[in-house]
Amino acid sequence: MKALTPGWCVVAAWFAMVAVGNAAEPATLKFKFKTVTVSGAQSAAVFGINNAGTLAGSYVDSSNVRHGFKLAGGKLTNVDDPNGSDTYCFAINKSNAIVGYYATSNHTAQAFLYKGGKFSDIGPAGLPGSQATGINDAGTVVGNFADSKGSHAFVFKGGKYTTLDVPGAVLTLGGGINKAGLITLVWIDSEGNAESSLYNGKSYKTIDIPKEENSDAGGISSGGDIVYSWEDAQDNYGGALRHGTKYYKFSDPSGGRTFGYGINDHHVIVGAYVDMNNVMQGFTATY
Protein backbone atom coordinates (compact mmCIF):
# COMPACT_ATOMS: atom_id res chain seq x y z
CA MET A 1 0.00 0.00 0.00
CA LYS A 2 1.31 3.43 -0.85
CA ALA A 3 1.50 6.38 1.51
CA LEU A 4 -1.72 8.34 1.13
CA THR A 5 -1.48 11.91 0.01
CA PRO A 6 -2.98 14.35 2.52
CA GLY A 7 -6.65 14.76 2.51
CA TRP A 8 -7.12 14.98 0.20
CA CYS A 9 -6.39 15.13 0.11
CA VAL A 10 -10.06 15.11 -0.93
CA VAL A 11 -15.99 14.83 -7.00
CA ALA A 12 -17.94 14.78 -10.03
CA ALA A 13 -21.71 15.05 -10.35
CA TRP A 14 -22.88 12.00 -12.23
CA PHE A 15 -26.32 13.49 -12.75
CA ALA A 16 -26.93 16.90 -14.38
CA MET A 17 -23.44 18.35 -13.83
CA VAL A 18 -21.67 15.50 -15.59
CA ALA A 19 -24.22 15.54 -18.40
CA VAL A 20 -23.29 19.15 -19.16
CA GLY A 21 -19.65 18.16 -19.65
CA ASN A 22 -20.55 15.27 -21.92
CA ALA A 23 -22.03 17.38 -24.70
CA ALA A 24 -18.75 18.40 -26.32
CA GLU A 25 -15.65 16.86 -24.79
CA PRO A 26 -12.30 17.57 -26.45
CA ALA A 27 -10.20 14.65 -27.64
CA THR A 28 -7.36 15.92 -25.46
CA LEU A 29 -6.78 18.58 -22.86
CA LYS A 30 -3.72 20.79 -22.60
CA PHE A 31 -2.38 21.82 -19.22
CA LYS A 32 -0.35 25.00 -18.74
CA PHE A 33 1.82 24.82 -15.62
CA LYS A 34 3.31 27.53 -13.44
CA THR A 35 5.52 26.93 -10.40
CA VAL A 36 4.35 28.64 -7.20
CA THR A 37 7.39 30.19 -5.54
CA VAL A 38 7.40 30.63 -1.76
CA SER A 39 10.31 32.87 -0.78
CA GLY A 40 12.76 31.20 1.61
CA ALA A 41 11.04 27.81 1.46
CA GLN A 42 12.93 24.53 1.34
CA SER A 43 9.83 22.82 -0.03
CA ALA A 44 6.21 23.72 -0.65
CA ALA A 45 2.88 22.33 -1.80
CA VAL A 46 -0.37 23.99 -2.85
CA PHE A 47 -3.47 22.13 -1.70
CA GLY A 48 -6.38 24.48 -2.33
CA ILE A 49 -7.56 27.36 -4.53
CA ASN A 50 -10.73 29.44 -4.50
CA ASN A 51 -12.44 31.16 -7.41
CA ALA A 52 -10.57 34.41 -6.75
CA GLY A 53 -7.30 32.52 -7.30
CA THR A 54 -6.18 32.66 -3.67
CA LEU A 55 -4.02 29.67 -2.81
CA ALA A 56 -3.73 27.64 0.40
CA GLY A 57 -0.89 25.28 1.20
CA SER A 58 2.08 24.43 3.36
CA TYR A 59 5.82 25.03 3.21
CA VAL A 60 8.98 24.29 5.17
CA ASP A 61 11.19 27.31 5.89
CA SER A 62 14.99 27.58 6.06
CA SER A 63 14.91 26.60 9.75
CA ASN A 64 13.01 23.37 9.02
CA VAL A 65 9.77 24.75 10.45
CA ARG A 66 6.54 23.91 8.63
CA HIS A 67 3.93 26.61 8.08
CA GLY A 68 0.49 26.80 6.57
CA PHE A 69 0.00 29.67 4.14
CA LYS A 70 -2.40 31.77 2.11
CA LEU A 71 -1.10 33.34 -1.09
CA ALA A 72 -3.14 36.12 -2.73
CA GLY A 73 -1.96 38.60 -5.33
CA GLY A 74 1.65 37.66 -4.71
CA LYS A 75 1.35 38.33 -0.96
CA LEU A 76 2.16 35.38 1.31
CA THR A 77 0.52 35.16 4.74
CA ASN A 78 1.46 32.47 7.22
CA VAL A 79 -1.55 30.61 8.61
CA ASP A 80 -0.17 28.80 11.66
CA ASP A 81 -2.54 27.45 14.28
CA PRO A 82 -1.28 28.78 17.65
CA ASN A 83 -2.35 25.60 19.47
CA GLY A 84 0.30 23.43 17.84
CA SER A 85 2.90 23.13 15.10
CA ASP A 86 3.30 21.89 11.52
CA THR A 87 0.16 23.47 10.10
CA TYR A 88 -1.25 22.22 6.78
CA CYS A 89 -3.86 24.32 4.95
CA PHE A 90 -5.85 22.04 2.65
CA ALA A 91 -8.77 24.05 1.26
CA ILE A 92 -10.08 27.62 1.00
CA ASN A 93 -13.51 29.00 0.07
CA LYS A 94 -14.76 32.31 -1.36
CA SER A 95 -14.77 33.92 2.11
CA ASN A 96 -11.11 32.91 2.59
CA ALA A 97 -12.12 30.43 5.29
CA ILE A 98 -9.38 27.80 5.43
CA VAL A 99 -9.39 24.25 6.76
CA GLY A 100 -6.56 21.84 7.48
CA TYR A 101 -4.80 20.34 10.45
CA TYR A 102 -1.93 20.93 12.85
CA ALA A 103 0.17 18.72 15.11
CA THR A 104 -0.68 18.85 18.82
CA SER A 105 1.86 18.61 21.65
CA ASN A 106 1.02 14.89 21.73
CA HIS A 107 1.98 14.62 18.05
CA THR A 108 -1.55 13.88 16.88
CA ALA A 109 -3.33 15.58 14.01
CA GLN A 110 -6.04 18.08 14.91
CA ALA A 111 -8.46 19.49 12.33
CA PHE A 112 -9.02 23.24 12.34
CA LEU A 113 -11.14 25.94 10.74
CA TYR A 114 -9.60 29.39 10.21
CA LYS A 115 -12.32 31.96 9.65
CA GLY A 116 -12.38 35.72 10.11
CA GLY A 117 -8.87 35.69 11.52
CA LYS A 118 -9.71 33.14 14.22
CA PHE A 119 -8.79 29.46 14.60
CA SER A 120 -11.13 26.84 16.00
CA ASP A 121 -10.60 23.11 16.48
CA ILE A 122 -13.13 20.94 14.67
CA GLY A 123 -13.80 17.23 14.44
CA PRO A 124 -15.94 14.83 16.50
CA ALA A 125 -15.30 15.53 20.18
CA GLY A 126 -12.99 13.33 22.21
CA LEU A 127 -11.47 11.47 19.29
CA PRO A 128 -7.73 11.63 18.58
CA GLY A 129 -6.48 12.31 15.09
CA SER A 130 -8.47 14.44 12.66
CA GLN A 131 -7.99 16.38 9.44
CA ALA A 132 -10.23 18.88 7.64
CA THR A 133 -9.68 18.43 3.91
CA GLY A 134 -12.39 20.41 2.13
CA ILE A 135 -14.72 23.38 2.55
CA ASN A 136 -17.31 24.77 0.16
CA ASP A 137 -18.60 28.33 -0.20
CA ALA A 138 -21.49 27.62 2.20
CA GLY A 139 -18.97 26.65 4.89
CA THR A 140 -19.68 22.91 4.95
CA VAL A 141 -16.50 21.07 5.90
CA VAL A 142 -15.30 17.58 4.95
CA GLY A 143 -12.54 15.71 6.73
CA ASN A 144 -11.62 12.51 8.53
CA PHE A 145 -11.02 11.27 12.05
CA ALA A 146 -9.72 8.17 13.79
CA ASP A 147 -11.33 6.06 16.51
CA SER A 148 -10.87 2.56 17.91
CA LYS A 149 -12.44 1.09 14.76
CA GLY A 150 -10.21 2.92 12.27
CA SER A 151 -10.50 6.03 10.11
CA HIS A 152 -13.76 7.58 8.94
CA ALA A 153 -14.75 10.61 6.88
CA PHE A 154 -16.96 13.31 8.33
CA VAL A 155 -19.15 16.18 7.17
CA PHE A 156 -19.48 19.20 9.45
CA LYS A 157 -22.57 21.30 8.69
CA GLY A 158 -24.66 23.56 10.89
CA GLY A 159 -22.69 22.54 13.97
CA LYS A 160 -23.43 18.84 13.44
CA TYR A 161 -21.18 15.98 12.33
CA THR A 162 -22.13 13.15 10.00
CA THR A 163 -19.84 10.13 9.66
CA LEU A 164 -19.21 8.68 6.19
CA ASP A 165 -17.88 5.18 5.53
CA VAL A 166 -17.71 3.80 2.01
CA PRO A 167 -19.30 0.32 2.02
CA GLY A 168 -16.62 -2.37 2.03
CA ALA A 169 -13.81 0.05 2.85
CA VAL A 170 -11.13 -0.78 5.39
CA LEU A 171 -10.89 2.95 6.12
CA THR A 172 -12.36 6.12 4.61
CA LEU A 173 -10.77 9.56 4.24
CA GLY A 174 -12.36 12.90 3.36
CA GLY A 175 -11.59 14.72 0.13
CA GLY A 176 -13.23 17.78 -1.41
CA ILE A 177 -16.73 19.25 -1.50
CA ASN A 178 -18.36 21.54 -4.06
CA LYS A 179 -21.24 24.05 -3.97
CA ALA A 180 -23.83 21.34 -4.58
CA GLY A 181 -22.51 19.34 -1.62
CA LEU A 182 -20.99 16.56 -3.74
CA ILE A 183 -18.09 14.99 -1.86
CA THR A 184 -15.01 13.08 -2.93
CA LEU A 185 -13.72 10.33 -0.65
CA VAL A 186 -10.59 8.19 -0.68
CA TRP A 187 -10.80 4.71 0.81
CA ILE A 188 -8.64 1.65 1.27
CA ASP A 189 -9.90 -1.64 -0.08
CA SER A 190 -9.25 -5.14 1.25
CA GLU A 191 -6.07 -5.43 -0.83
CA GLY A 192 -4.59 -2.23 0.60
CA ASN A 193 -5.12 -0.12 -2.51
CA ALA A 194 -6.50 3.42 -2.53
CA GLU A 195 -9.80 3.91 -4.33
CA SER A 196 -12.03 6.95 -4.74
CA SER A 197 -15.76 7.53 -4.50
CA LEU A 198 -18.24 10.32 -5.10
CA TYR A 199 -20.93 10.79 -2.45
CA ASN A 200 -24.12 12.69 -3.33
CA GLY A 201 -25.70 12.64 0.13
CA LYS A 202 -27.39 9.29 -0.41
CA SER A 203 -25.11 6.90 -2.26
CA TYR A 204 -21.48 6.26 -3.16
CA LYS A 205 -20.15 5.86 -6.68
CA THR A 206 -16.64 4.58 -7.38
CA ILE A 207 -14.68 7.01 -9.56
CA ASP A 208 -11.28 5.34 -9.88
CA ILE A 209 -8.87 6.26 -12.65
CA PRO A 210 -9.11 3.37 -15.14
CA LYS A 211 -6.35 0.75 -14.99
CA GLU A 212 -4.47 2.41 -12.10
CA GLU A 213 -3.82 0.60 -8.83
CA ASN A 214 -4.32 3.66 -6.61
CA SER A 215 -6.62 6.63 -7.18
CA ASP A 216 -6.68 9.53 -4.70
CA ALA A 217 -9.45 12.02 -5.53
CA GLY A 218 -9.02 15.55 -4.22
CA GLY A 219 -10.87 18.76 -5.02
CA ILE A 220 -14.07 19.02 -7.04
CA SER A 221 -15.35 22.03 -9.00
CA SER A 222 -18.93 23.26 -9.22
CA GLY A 223 -19.07 21.73 -12.70
CA GLY A 224 -18.04 18.33 -11.36
CA ASP A 225 -14.40 18.25 -12.52
CA ILE A 226 -12.22 16.26 -10.10
CA VAL A 227 -8.46 16.38 -9.60
CA TYR A 228 -6.48 13.29 -8.56
CA SER A 229 -3.14 11.80 -7.67
CA TRP A 230 -2.52 8.24 -8.86
CA GLU A 231 0.01 5.42 -8.65
CA ASP A 232 0.26 2.24 -10.73
CA ALA A 233 1.57 -1.23 -9.91
CA GLN A 234 5.04 -0.29 -11.22
CA ASP A 235 5.35 2.66 -8.80
CA ASN A 236 4.74 5.26 -11.49
CA TYR A 237 3.00 8.39 -10.22
CA GLY A 238 1.12 11.36 -11.59
CA GLY A 239 -1.84 13.69 -11.47
CA ALA A 240 -5.13 13.36 -13.31
CA LEU A 241 -8.32 15.26 -14.06
CA ARG A 242 -11.80 13.80 -14.44
CA HIS A 243 -13.53 16.14 -16.90
CA GLY A 244 -17.03 15.05 -17.85
CA THR A 245 -16.70 11.27 -18.04
CA LYS A 246 -13.11 11.22 -19.29
CA TYR A 247 -9.81 11.09 -17.43
CA TYR A 248 -6.75 13.12 -18.45
CA LYS A 249 -3.37 12.45 -16.87
CA PHE A 250 -0.85 15.22 -16.34
CA SER A 251 2.68 15.73 -15.06
CA ASP A 252 4.49 18.99 -14.38
CA PRO A 253 7.20 19.34 -17.04
CA SER A 254 9.58 20.94 -14.53
CA GLY A 255 9.99 17.75 -12.54
CA GLY A 256 9.00 14.18 -11.97
CA ARG A 257 6.38 12.90 -9.54
CA THR A 258 3.26 15.10 -9.66
CA PHE A 259 0.35 15.33 -7.22
CA GLY A 260 -3.05 16.85 -8.02
CA TYR A 261 -4.83 18.34 -5.00
CA GLY A 262 -7.22 21.25 -5.57
CA ILE A 263 -9.35 22.84 -8.27
CA ASN A 264 -11.57 25.90 -8.76
CA ASP A 265 -14.42 26.78 -11.13
CA HIS A 266 -12.14 28.58 -13.61
CA HIS A 267 -10.27 25.49 -14.85
CA VAL A 268 -7.29 25.94 -12.54
CA ILE A 269 -5.69 22.96 -10.78
CA VAL A 270 -3.20 23.16 -7.93
CA GLY A 271 -0.81 20.62 -6.49
CA ALA A 272 2.86 19.81 -6.10
CA TYR A 273 5.68 18.14 -7.98
CA VAL A 274 9.14 16.88 -7.12
CA ASP A 275 11.76 18.85 -9.06
CA MET A 276 15.08 17.69 -10.52
CA ASN A 277 16.77 18.33 -7.15
CA ASN A 278 14.23 16.09 -5.37
CA VAL A 279 12.55 19.13 -3.78
CA MET A 280 8.79 19.46 -3.61
CA GLN A 281 7.40 22.56 -5.33
CA GLY A 282 3.84 23.86 -5.63
CA PHE A 283 2.17 24.53 -8.96
CA THR A 284 -0.92 25.88 -10.66
CA ALA A 285 -2.12 24.51 -13.98
CA THR A 286 -4.83 25.81 -16.27
CA TYR A 287 -6.71 23.55 -18.69
Q: What is the pLDDT of residues 182-197, one digit of tens each?
A: 999 999 999 999 999 9
Q: Which of 210, 161, 208, 211 is nearest to 187 (CA)?
A: 208
Domains assigned to the chain: 16-286 (2.120.10.30)
pTM beyond 0.85: the answer is yes
- Report how far residue 58's alpha carbon sits from residue 34's, in angstroms, rounded to the nearest whole number: 17
Task: Give the residue, 255 or 140, on which the prediction is more confident.
Answer: 140
pLDDT band of residue 27 (cuts 50, 70, 90) is: low
Largest CA distance in the chain: 52
**pLDDT at residue 46, rounded to an integer:** 98
Q: What is the average pLDDT score of the chain?
A: 91
Q: Which residues contact 206 (CB under 8 A, 6 or more apart)?
A: 195, 196, 197
Q: Which of 41, 79, 110, 70 is nearest to 279 (CA)?
A: 41
3-state DSSP assignment of residue 33: strand
The one-character DSSP state at 67 is E
**pLDDT at residue 127, rounded to an integer:** 83
